[in-house]
Structure 1
Amino acid sequence: MSTVLPEGRDLDGVGEEAAAVDGPNRPTDLCSSGTAGGNMTSVVEYYTGKNVLITGATGFMGKVLVEKLLRTCPEVQALYILVRPKAGQSMQQRVSDMMKCKLFDRVREDNPDFHQKIIPISSELTQPGLAISPEDQERLKACINIVFHCAATIRFDEPLKWMDDDIVLDITPRLIGDRPNTYTYTKALAECVVQQEQDKLNIGIIRPSIVGASWQEPFPGWIDNFNGPSGVFIAAGKGILRTMRANNDAVADLIPVDTVVNLTLAAGWYTAVHRPKTALVYNCTTGGINPFHWGEIEHHVMSSFKRNPLDQAFRRPNANITSNYLIYQYWILVSHKFPALIYDLFLRLSGQKPQMMRIFNRLHKAIGLLEYFSSQDWEWNSENMNMLMSQLTAEDRKTFNFDVRQLNWPEYIENYCLGTKKYVLNEDMSDIPAARQHLRKLRNIRYTFNTLLVVFIWRVFIARSQMARNIWYFVVSLCFKFLSYFRASSTLTN
């Protein structure tokens, strides 16, 4: 979510994705400030000379936003990004690592010194005043024109934190009511807070659905994390995930990350230039415009990973989606827990530490959090998104494309799966022939196991029972008669 940061006010608790807004002209004694406002028709022109503040810039969507701004609006004055030290890394190290990311390769080719436009500010959004030093506060107040607020936790079950933990744990179910988790609850709270301040700020709110890999920019299929559908796709590609509880006919409202970023930048322009009287909410979704269903996703993900397998898959990709609870539990037992127990037994016998059951338990928890969203349909109003598109020039519609009617789903899913292989797992594409050979090996192992299982069943249940043998011989006899009839019919026809 983004908004202007007014003097004396912080954004504690504000939710994740929203459009940029334009602040008033400010003095330039502490840092250079571009022209604000104006009746410009071009999005690129609007961002020229502007100083932009971004929260969550080191996150998935934040990085794509930074890259897009630097690449398509090269005359932007500066990007101030709020960063906190994390996992033993300093603020400077985190920013340096971010700028080395492959995501910035196209920007790097055009401008090797692009990093000079990125100015990190030490901050911690969970602290009063965002833990920004007084000196940095004055610096930002003096020059920032636009704020993009993209920072948020991405854990669906994050505990609420505003009083004693035991009390919060007790009242959380009553607070969230019919909402599935604290994630959606706090999103709603954030929107409420922002809309209460809309008479003081120029605000636009972007509501993306399930954000996935890039569609087109900076290159198709870019993704850098296991969150959301990415982890599910990888688990399926590795042959670990074999079943998932979802409605095959429900719309899987995926939205590419570059589509969200393009809409956000365009909404920032519109909010600043046209200054709507109320905060506009842009539902950035695909379901009502270009729907794609969970059953279709399952088919295309499996097909993609069979053509371009992940290295050292545990089993051949073959997932089963069902909305029936009992069938789902059956597949969990047969396809997840039973193989995990066998593999962990093998690891123990070979002197290694068992790990598969622990992996499957984590996987079950992750897909369990998604069940609410993969089993239902929602209808989202796209009027504001369509209105915004109509306000853009032909050139801006091309540069900041968020027209999801143009999205080819099979191609997108193919690139998404390849992106998880290349950018998340860092696997070499030249190793695909070896990965295919590994899948053939797994297929042969499966056939051998199934054959041995049939022989075992024969020996235990059929060979020891006269009635079972009679039934078996009757079935074989029927099959033989059918084949004989089929061959005779073929001969007469010829």
Structure 2
Amino acid sequence: MLDALLEQIWILCLGTKVYTGSKTVMSGSAVLIRMVSIPEYYEGKNVLLTGATGFLGKVLLEKLLRSCPKVNSVYVLVRHKAGQTPQERIEEVLSSKLFDRLKDENPDFRQKIIAINSELTQPKLALSEEDNEVILDSTNIVFHCAATVRFNETLRDAVQLNVIATRQLILLAQQMKNLEVFVHVSTAYAYCNRKHIDEIVYPPPVDPKKLIDSLEWMDDGLVNDITPKLIGDRPNTYIYTKALAEYVVQQEGAKLNVAIVRPSIVGASWKEPYPGWIDNFNGPSGLFIAAGKGILRTMRASNSALADLVPVDVVINTSLAAAWYSGVNRPRNIMVYNCTTGSTNPFHWGEVEYHVISTFKRNPLEQAFRRPNVNLTSNHLLYQYWIAVSHKAPAFLYDIYLRMTGRSPRMMKAITRLHRAMMFLEYFTSNSWVWNTDNVTMLMNQLNPEDKKAKSLYLVLLRNIRYGFNTILVILIWRVFIARSQMARNIWYFVVSLCYKFLSYFRASSTMRY
């Protein structure tokens, strides 16, 4: 079921002609109406992208330029960092393997990328007058992917990066002369204090404007003291501020054509541009590698809790399709898409444990610390016992061995970092949620019958070519290597005669039909 869901969204974003948008084509005296495909919608458009140096942003940039090659320009807002200019940072992103396929298919893609120096948390995004004028005059579509994803970010910084920056971008979008759609990338866990989450924007835990005003006069000590009370039943400042940001988008962008995409736990790519591509070890990917290395041996999780993992390319394809749908159809209300997998193909953490360990046992990693084996437990005392026995004690002994052999100890540091990552994920590995995905299903259902039929015929053609090739190969092998006796020749002539009769019957049937 998951494969079917991902396959259809993947087809949507590869340019299959879908949806209710249309183009009018004059042909003599006839007027032909045909569906507008996603690449056609983006043709000639100018796109503004934030977060292009982040995980989601760089995948969106690659996918947009590769699948919609006639897009006019992509403005990427990037700030100076670590002595690098925005242009240098983007060039570093483009040098990664992620863009190798795009380089082969469209070597001139760099001409479409325009890096613009900007600071999202500053008034007017700290844009120069020239850049501001270009953006306001030219932008058609906005993708807001920038955010801090650190779970332990201070409340002040999280509000700055996730709420204030979003508000600044919305204010800029309100002034854009040709804006068609604003897409905000959020998280499916923004309202994780609810067990059932619909595709709507819920009331915020606090008025974002009042919180922003309060943070201006509070010192850091006071902010840190009140943070636990403010976030309440949400696990961290990231989740808390993403909920506030959604409300800001809804309220400040009331006059804009807005879509919100909410991915769950984003992992490596499913198909595009390469299966299994990822550029970091944050979140579950880092835990999987630690398990494969034999470093991670126990984890606090519920075997029955749903592991709502979604590939990064599915998130990006959904985002591109969401922008296209809103741009073509102009829905009256804000469109929210819960980009999750739990309701479509329930997959539990206990199953994740089994598949991860079995995979690494069949394909062991190089320089593994121990044989892969992980135990999941929701019992606090049992978890602490296994942490001491399976993690800390072996790491301590191994560091002693490293010291004795004249090398620097490193295992205890690695274990400490691992435990910190596990602590941030405990909330998500121990609980389950039910997300409504009606809007995502609606996107899939926009495939028209002709495209579905064309896709099926194409697959049948490929299947028949494969069957035909295999048949010819078998015949050649039989003729050259096997047909050495009279009995073999008799069998050969019988098979050929049977095939001839079958083809004659098929031809006669076809003639009678027409």
TM-score w.r.t. the length of structure 1 is 0.71
- By how many angstroms is 1:256 displaced? 0.5
1:89 to 84, 88, 93: 84
1:131 aligns with 126
Secondary structure of 1:88 counterpart: coil
Structural mapping, 1:296-315, within 5 Å: 296-315=351-370
1:142 aligns with 137
Secondary structure of 2:155 counterpart: coil
Secondary structure of 1:45 counterpart: helix
1:488 aligns with none
2:287 maps to a residue whose letter is V
1:332 aligns with 387
Q: Say whether residues 1:255 and 2:255 are aligned partners.
A: no
- By how many angstroms is 1:393 displaced? 4.3
Secondary structure of 2:332 counterpart: coil
Separation in 2, partners of 1:40, 1:91: 38
Gap runs ≥5 in structure 1? 1-37, 400-494
2:425 aligns with 370
1:49 aligns with 44
2:408 maps to a residue whose letter is K
Deviations 1:84-133 (A, max 9, x none): 22223222221111111111122111111111111101112222222222
Q: Is the 8 A contact 1:81 1:121 kept in 2?
A: yes
Separation in 1, partners of 2:324, 2:146: 20
2:290 aligns with 235
Separation in 2, partners of 1:280, 1:397: 25
Q: Say whether residues 1:154 and 2:209 are aligned partners.
A: no
Separation in 2, partners of 1:290, 1:398: 25
Q: Is the 8 A contact 1:61 1:257 kept in 2?
A: yes
Q: Say whether residues 1:200 and 2:255 are aligned partners.
A: yes
Q: Is the 8 A contact 1:55 1:150 kept in 2?
A: yes
Structural mapping, 1:82-481, within 5 Å: 82-161=77-156, 162-163=215-216, 164-393=219-448
Separation in 2, partners of 1:166, 1:40: 57
1:62 to 41, 46, 57: 57
Q: Is the 8 A contact 1:83 1:91 kept in 2?
A: yes
1:257 maps to a residue whose letter is V
Q: Is the 8 A contact 1:51 1:144 kept in 2?
A: yes
- By how many angstroms is 1:243 displaced? 0.6
Separation in 2, partners of 1:152, 1:68: 20
- By how many angstroms is 1:258 displaced? 0.6
Separation in 2, partners of 1:398, 1:115: 36
2:336 maps to a residue whose letter is V
Separation in 2, partners of 1:99, 1:109: 13
Deviations 1:345-389 (A, max 9, x none): 112222333221121111111101100000011000011111122
Gap runs ≥5 in structure 2? 1-32, 157-214, 455-514
1:284 maps to a residue whose letter is C
Separation in 1, partners of 2:281, 2:450: 34
Separation in 2, partners of 1:397, 1:302: 38
Q: Is the 8 A contact 1:203 1:279 kept in 2?
A: yes
Q: Is the 8 A contact 1:41 1:393 kept in 2?
A: no
Separation in 2, partners of 1:74, 1:168: 47
TM-score w.r.t. the length of structure 2 is 0.68
Separation in 1, partners of 2:427, 2:251: 29
Going from structure 1 to structure 2, the CA distance change for 1:312 and 1:283 (only over 3 Å counts) comes to same
Name the count of aligned residue pairs.
362
Q: Which has the higher contact order (CA 8 A, sep 6+)?
A: 1
Q: Is the 8 A contact 1:65 1:261 kept in 2?
A: yes
1:111 maps to a residue whose letter is N
Separation in 1, partners of 2:446, 2:252: 26
- By how many angstroms is 1:395 displaced? 8.7
Secondary structure of 2:337 counterpart: strand
Secondary structure of 1:204 counterpart: strand
Going from structure 1 to structure 2, the CA distance change for 1:320 and 1:216 (only over 3 Å counts) comes to same
Deviations 1:192-219 (A, max 9, x none): 1011124211100000000001111112
Separation in 1, partners of 2:124, 2:136: 13
Q: Is the 8 A contact 1:80 1:119 kept in 2?
A: yes
Separation in 2, partners of 1:52, 1:378: 34
Q: Among the aligned pairs, what percent are the same residue?
A: 66
- By how many angstroms is 1:323 displaced? 1.1
Structural mapping, 1:14-25, within 5 Å: none
Secondary structure of 1:94 counterpart: helix
1:71 aligns with 66
Q: Is the 8 A contact 1:389 1:397 kept in 2?
A: no
Secondary structure of 1:82 counterpart: strand
Deviations 1:148-193 (A, max 9, x none): 0001111011101144211110111111111111011001000010
Secondary structure of 2:355 counterpart: helix
Separation in 2, partners of 1:337, 1:199: 53
Separation in 1, partners of 2:449, 2:374: 43
Separation in 2, partners of 1:205, 1:39: 28
Q: Is the 8 A contact 1:198 1:279 kept in 2?
A: no
Secondary structure of 2:275 counterpart: coil
2:92 maps to a residue whose letter is D
Secondary structure of 1:391 counterpart: coil
